Amino acid sequence: MVTKSVSQEAKDIELATQMIHLGARLQVLQAETALSYDRLARLYREVRGCSPPKGMLPFSVDWFTTWLPNIHSTLFYSVYCYMDQLTPAHKVQALIEAYKLYLEQACAGRIEGAGEEPVLSFTRAWMLIRFFESGMLQLSACERCSGQFIAHAHDPAAGFVCAICKPPPRAGKTRSSKIVRASKAAKKDSVNENTPKQKAKKSTKKASSVAKGSAEAIVKPQDEDKNPV
Ligand SMILES: [Zn+2]
């Protein structure tokens, strides 16, 4: 009978806990630790207060080459490579550190309370590294900005233009980005209202007051009382 090392088990539990906090699925935990399925499921319930989600992992390689996921995944992967190659954090530790940094960057500029999930989930980030390791993805240099972006393996490198230099026509026109735009317009209006030029801006204020009211109600209900009458 194989005797299990207690200290190794403690390390695995610590590692699994960190990954559960970041949103890892059970399959990822099983691959990265030596803990049994039952113990991991119990740990998951203790940490998150609910049962782990069932079903298969997202295994689409194509997802990483669609425009917005491509930008997010490229950002994450660049940080991961830096962590793995140039810091003491390697493999799964590099993944955890890189994902934390990615979350910080992905949340920057996002409106508080918008409740939006990050584009790249922890499980997808883990899959991304597997895809690179198995040679299904590569980094291609954009011929306009010379940045390295994720692309399908063996795609021709010549003539590659990244998703930032050439975004699709509908880029950024999602429901959540509409809320962000509306709230930005509302904030701009409230600044205008507080200036001495209030009278001159009156017509603009009237026109946008309906949009402003609804946007602020969705995004920042606590700011309602700040609106000058
Ligand atoms: Zn580019």
DSSP string of 14-49? HHHHHHHHTT--HHHHHHHS---HHHHHHHHHHHHS
CA of 70 to the centre of ligand 1 (A): 12
- Nearest residue to 123 via CA among 23, 43, 51, 16: 23
**DSSP summary character for residue 108:** T
Please count the helices (runs of H) and the strands (runs of E) in the chain. 8, 2
Query: What is the model's pLDDT at position 191?
Result: 56
Q: What is the mean pLDDT of residues 24-53?
A: 96
| pLDDT, tens digit (0-9, with 9 covering 90-100), for 183-226 | 667 766 665 555 444 444 444 444 444 444 444 433 333 443 43
State the pTM of this model: 0.73
CB-count burial class (<10 Å; 0-12, 13-18, 19+) for 224 = exposed
Q: What is the mean pLDDT of residues 54-75?
A: 92
Place of tokens 């920057």: 108
CA of 178 to the centre of ligand 1 (A): 25
Share of the chain above pLDDT 70, in %: 71
The two structure tokens encoding residue 133:
């390791």
Q: Are 160 and 146 in contact (CB under 8 A)?
A: no
CA of 103 to the centre of ligand 1 (A): 22
Asked whether residue 73 carries a pLDDT value surpassing 80, the answer given is yes
Q: Are 102 and 76 in contact (CB under 8 A)?
A: yes
Q: Are 219 and 114 in contact (CB under 8 A)?
A: yes
Phi-psi region of 36 (alpha: psi -120 to 50; beta: other; left: phi over 0): beta
Helix (H, G, I), strand (E, B) or coil at 77: helix
- Nearest residue to 143 via CA among 158, 125, 132: 158
CA of 43 to the centre of ligand 1 (A): 43
Paired strand residues for 151: 138
Query: What is the model's pLDDT at position 160?
Result: 94
CA of 144 to the centre of ligand 1 (A): 5
Q: Are 51 and 45 in contact (CB under 8 A)?
A: yes
Distance CA 113, CA 216 (A): 12
Q: Give, in order, the Cα–Cα distances in Å from 213 to each of 104, 176, 220, 223.
A: 30, 17, 10, 11
| pLDDT, tens digit (0-9, with 9 covering 90-100), for 126-148 | 999 999 999 999 999 999 999 99
CA of 163 to the centre of ligand 1 (A): 7
Place of tokens 């806990």: 17
Residue 114: band (very low, low, confident or very high) from pLDDT cuts 50, 70, 90:
low
**Chain-centroid distance, C-alpha 70:** 11
CA of 166 to the centre of ligand 1 (A): 7
